[in-house]
Chains A and B, each alone.
Chain A
Amino acid sequence: MTLERRAAMAALVKDRDDDLLVVPGLGSTTWDLAAAGDDPRNFYLWGAMGGAAMIGLGLALAQPDRRVAVITGDGEMLMGLGALATIGNKRPPNLAVIVFDNGVYGETGMQPSHTQNGVDLIRIADACGIATCLDVRDDHALADLAARLKNLRGTLFARVLISADEPPRVLPLRDGAEIKSRFRAALGVKA
């Protein structure tokens, strides 16, 4: 059983409060987040493949009173797999790394990714020392994950099994400097 990616993203960010900051990975998860509704507390990525989880770590350390959800794809996570070791080493209590895993590189023509052939991101995250690692395959588990995002109490990893479809692209802001400045203004940060 797998979940539909747009519905899964919507379930995770619906009714979000001002203290949930979201970093999607480049490509499909950025389109999914835009489709769920624009928000200045989204830091959309159009590049920097492999960097989403580490952006989330820097943000979580800088904003201990807010919660950070990195929501990326399996290909993007695989490119920066070392970030799971770095995050497992640092363990910020307010960071969730969520991987939408469909086993393919959707943006480039649905070529298979490592996860289709036995590479298990949950076991990797667990072995990196992330205490809570969730396997999300149905609406019940998705609702549980959404509830945890509202009240994070420790570094969390979740693999959300999604179907390999490609819904129409919904494109958010593209100017990186504008996305950054809007995000910082929404948080009211200086320095």
Chain B
Amino acid sequence: MSVRAGQWPDQLFETIKRGGVRQVGYVPDAGHARLIDRCRADADIHDVVLTTEEEGIALAAGAWLGGQRAALLMQSSGLGNCINMLSLARTCRFPLLMLITMRGEWEEFNPWQVPMGSIVEQVLKLCEAEVYRVREPDEVAGIAERAVQQTFGDERIVALVLSQQLIGGKVWTK
């Protein structure tokens, strides 16, 4: 099955829906725009726009305490905002599903995105997260399914890292 470039956000949405996710925290991000729209349009999902990504780590912990599953959407720069708050998930063994769109690695015009983008996978591993990297549209649904199962089945921190080539370059001059 070949997945058109623009379809994978819908597949991600369907995967987290099937996985029973009821709260979605996000800092607005162009790469996640379609997924954010789908979540906002779904009456069974609490969409929570955040001022910074670390709020989402705490939101997801609260959701799990109350019996709901949460997902956190961010771009790679946002991971840097989360590091100390990830100690909440690590210490208490909260399940945490992070869907991370990459910046700073492919057709990146903005060099300020590179420092954080270049260390995303190392930071995640230092924080004891399971890392699933997705590069091709065809891979998204299958890997996302496994990420959701591992997050909530094993009560793990899991990051689905969506390569910048999936998203395409940002248009800087219009």
Contact = CB atoms under 8 A, between A and B. Distances in A.
Interface of A: 21, 23, 43, 46-63, 66, 80, 82-83, 85-86, 89-90, 176-177, 179-180, 183-184, 187, 189-191
Nearest to B68: A62
Interface stretch (B43-51, B110-118, B159-167): B43-51
Contacts of A49: 84
Give 10 nearest A-B pairs by CB, closest first.
Answer: A58-B62, A62-B66, A189-B67, A82-B51, A176-B92, A54-B58, A51-B58, A62-B68, A59-B62, A176-B91
A60 B46 CA distance: 11
A57 B87 contact: no
Contacts of A66: 66
Interface of B: 20, 22-23, 46, 48-52, 54-70, 84-85, 87-88, 91-94, 152
Given A59-B65, A80-B55, A176-B88, 19 more contacts: A21-B66, A43-B65, A51-B57, A51-B58, A58-B64, A59-B66, A62-B23, A63-B66, A63-B67, A82-B50, A82-B52, A85-B51, A177-B91, A180-B64, A180-B93, A183-B65, A187-B67, A191-B67, A191-B68
Contacts, number: 127
Contacts of B61: 48, 51, 55, 58
A55 B58 contact: yes
A50 B54 contact: yes
B91 A55 contact: no
